[in-house]
A and B are shown apart, each in its own frame.
Chain A
């Protein structure tokens, strides 16, 4: 019995920090409708700051708690800087822009943290006065855990008071419900948004700061926490602080008990719970369908077939690519394979996201399943390359059909979150199924068939599959099926009214996009000779989003240009120190300065040169 009480208390202690991060994220989302990837960074910076400040006052109770609070306040200030310099300019941009921009901020903060504190993990001090354990029902419970258990509800009560007893709090709640109305009432939104962002960031900083006696401070804290924080926010209902608390407790306590039965479950559990909750209650436990996201975006221009001159230019480029292995070095043709893989991945993501309006934060799942499917078929079933290359996409199709069925039942940010959950579940399963997937060690030795083993020969394998896949997706984009997806994105009501089965259509679109991502994954696996769990990870999904954004979401050519530019920039930048910082800056530059991406610029150029047909108007 005592053991179970101890587990329960551990769960509750874990819940506190998770709640602090998640409620900050929820407040920010509620008011600004921004899904803030950089929230994990605030958490991480909070921990580093607390570590440094507390170290100035060793063994002082006041020094410890003062340091924790000072860290939270400084992170709040950091939040203010981020909000005023970057986010304020993109409140009316589509979700994707905001997401990618905050990911850029995450990269920048990560490298700045590295520059300041170095790469080694930091072990924080124990909290003075709370550094021993007390026995509860015979089990030792750290005193600090008991303090944490009190901090969560105390913060919740504080926020509740602010939200219900102050004018500012009432405005925050009002904005969460209907942002436009609050604006129409003459409330200074800029100020309201900044304040909400500062509060949210400070709470994340506090969440990180109070963790220092419990876990090592490291540069991986940002991404590792953000997944769980998203989950908690979504389960609780976006914008709901009490929902975040209930969800944090639910997840942490469930986790504390589930690991007793099945030790590997902790990575997957939050995402499974989220998937279940979203299916039963699409807006989370305490969430309501909020008001729309920002201003209506500008309607997209109709698709036009390429003019014959533009087709010729395109054909010439494809032939040049086909001929390139003869001319360029082996190294360059390997790089070109990377470009083609990335392009097919980006095109498949754009297919569901740009054409289908289904933003995915977890498209890497299907890329990764394709790669692992081929790798496992090749290594364990002993299949030759060609059959393995069929198994991979089939596995991706099966995964996309399975997860897509749930995902298309939701829309907007909730759909995006469910795709993220799906990807994290797959990542977790892959990471932990050591016996089948090799876990963290991955699967090595996936080599192409003998005839395709030279760099040149494999280039043509990749060329056929990737260029073929891209061509096929473009073809589908112009087909009734692709038009149907766009129609649903434009107006699902009208789509239903002309007799379309909206959910089924979206499901098929999701599955097709996933399958083609799987094809990219297969080509990737055989070109690298190995696969690791990263191929399913958040970073890989975000890479896809950046490629689509970089190229411009409103054009079919966008992801093609975006992927090319992305791989070339990455190839160049990743050799430099602090490449994340540079890359983050490039992302922010694109988001803030060229919101229609590279394709938007090229499109303007094509129109100017008369290579693209104008509308008749």
Chain B
């Protein structure tokens, strides 16, 4: 059974069709990449799946349950974890407290006014830190962490509620090349071990081809290709999108001109 089923997803901003009739499935334990040039609609697509944007048309189903119109925080509770393009952590807390907060919220104890937050779910939090190899940094303030460590911390936070689906928006953005490889290897390992399904967007093609089980290519809001790394590499449309200046589908001259105007 598919973890995520997206059908006919469409979103317009004024006259601009940001995402146009996009459909795809994400299988159990699959590592699915969503790629495309700038402005292709990746982030819009993402934000409709995680509930931050309401689509104009289309459906999103998670394990058979409809996600359209569900608030982001409810979607989290239904088993969707997420990491952000720019890391979002609680900077005034330590590394382990960040994870404990995710666990506290998951176990619905966030309104507890008498327990000591730092003493709750400590073992579970430590186990998650070990998973991302950060157990030696548990007590550090997260504001002191290097960027690559923040990304790993965010991954551990996202995994805390034991999600079935992980949404990662540009997980390696802003990282050094060697760190990128390490982070994605770690993510791939966790995906394999825990059976989590991952949908991620990414600009770094090395990362995508090295790890994604399957790749979706978006351009101008539409899905133009879908397949394994090999298939995508060999796809002439994709090559044109990435190498040929963004003009595809033999679009009208007007479209090409407005693109040139933007450049």
Which of A's residues lie within 8 Å of B, judged by CB? 299-303, 305, 475-476, 478-484, 486-487, 489-491, 493-502, 505, 508, 615-617
Contact = CB atoms under 8 A, between A and B. Distances in A.
B32 to A, nearest CB: 20
B221 to A, nearest CB: 25
22 contacts: A299-B91, A302-B94, A302-B141, A476-B114, A480-B110, A480-B112, A480-B113, A487-B90, A487-B101, A491-B89, A494-B90, A495-B90, A496-B73, A498-B102, A498-B105, A498-B161, A499-B74, A499-B105, A499-B161, A500-B105, A505-B111, A615-B139
A460 B109 CA distance: 35
Interface string B147-189: 0000000000110110000000000000000000000000000
Given A480-B104, A483-B101, A498-B106, A490 B91 contact: yes
B235 interface: no
A489 B84 CA distance: 17
A508 B111 contact: yes
B92 A305 contact: no
Contacts of B144: 617
Q: Which 4 A-B pairs have the closest CB atoms?
A: A299-B143, A616-B139, A494-B88, A300-B92
Contacts of B115: 479-480
Contacts, number: 124
B54 interface: no
B93 interface: yes
Contacts of B102: 498
A527 B82 CA distance: 53
B110 A299 contact: no
Nearest to B100: A483
Given A302-B94, A486-B90, A498 B160 contact: yes
A371 B143 CA distance: 41
A482 B116 CA distance: 10
Nearest to A616: B139
Given A490-B92, A491-B89, A483 B72 contact: no
A498 B157 contact: yes
Contacts of A499: 73-74, 76-77, 105-106, 161
A180 to B, nearest CB: 17
B90 A305 contact: no
B254 to A, nearest CB: 32
B112 A490 contact: no
B103 to A, nearest CB: 9
A480 B89 contact: no
A369 B84 CA distance: 43
A300 B143 CA distance: 8
B79 to A, nearest CB: 11
Nearest to A554: B92
B122 to A, nearest CB: 13
B120 interface: yes
Nearest to B81: A497
A181 B116 CA distance: 44
Interface residues of B, number: 41
Interface of B: 72-74, 76-77, 82, 84, 88-94, 97, 101-102, 104-106, 109-118, 120, 138-141, 143-144, 157-158, 160-161
A617 B160 CA distance: 24
The A interface, classified by DSSP as helix, strand, loop or mixed, is: helix
Given A305-B118, A475-B113, A490 B90 contact: yes
Contact of A479 (B116, B141, B143, B161): B116
B109 A491 contact: no
Contacts of A493: 84, 88
Contact of A615 (B92, B140, B160): B140
A481 B114 CA distance: 9
A475 B114 CA distance: 6
A501 B73 contact: yes
Contacts of B89: 490-491, 494
A302 B93 contact: yes
Nearest to B109: A480
A496 B51 CA distance: 11
Given A490-B90, A491-B90, A496 B111 contact: no
A300 B97 contact: no
A535 B171 CA distance: 52
Contacts of B158: 497
A496 B74 CA distance: 9
Contacts of B114: 475-476, 479
Contacts of B72: 496-497
A483 B97 contact: yes
Contact of A617 (B112, B140, B157, B161): B140
A483 B111 contact: no
A438 B140 CA distance: 56
A354 to B, nearest CB: 10
B33 to A, nearest CB: 21
A49 B222 CA distance: 68
A305 B73 CA distance: 30
Given A305-B118, A479-B114, A479-B117, A498 B76 contact: yes
Nearest to A487: B90
A26 to B, nearest CB: 30
Contact of B88 (A300, A480, A497, A502): A497
Nearest to B139: A616
Nearest to B89: A494
Given A484-B110, A493-B84, A305 B105 contact: no
B25 to A, nearest CB: 24
A483 to B, nearest CB: 4
Contact of A490 (B73, B93, B109, B110): B93
Contacts of B82: 497
B88 A505 contact: no
Given A497-B72, A615-B141, 8 more contacts: A480-B113, A480-B117, A484-B104, A486-B90, A490-B89, A493-B88, A494-B84, A495-B90
A350 B171 CA distance: 36
A277 B94 CA distance: 40
A299 B92 contact: yes
Nearest to B111: A481
A505 B74 CA distance: 15
A501 B73 CA distance: 7
Given A480-B109, A481-B111, A299 B141 contact: yes
Chain A CB within 10 Å, residue with most, of B90, B111, B141, B157: B90
A49 to B, nearest CB: 47
Which one of B73, B84, B89 has the greatest number of beta carbons of chain A within 10 Å? B73
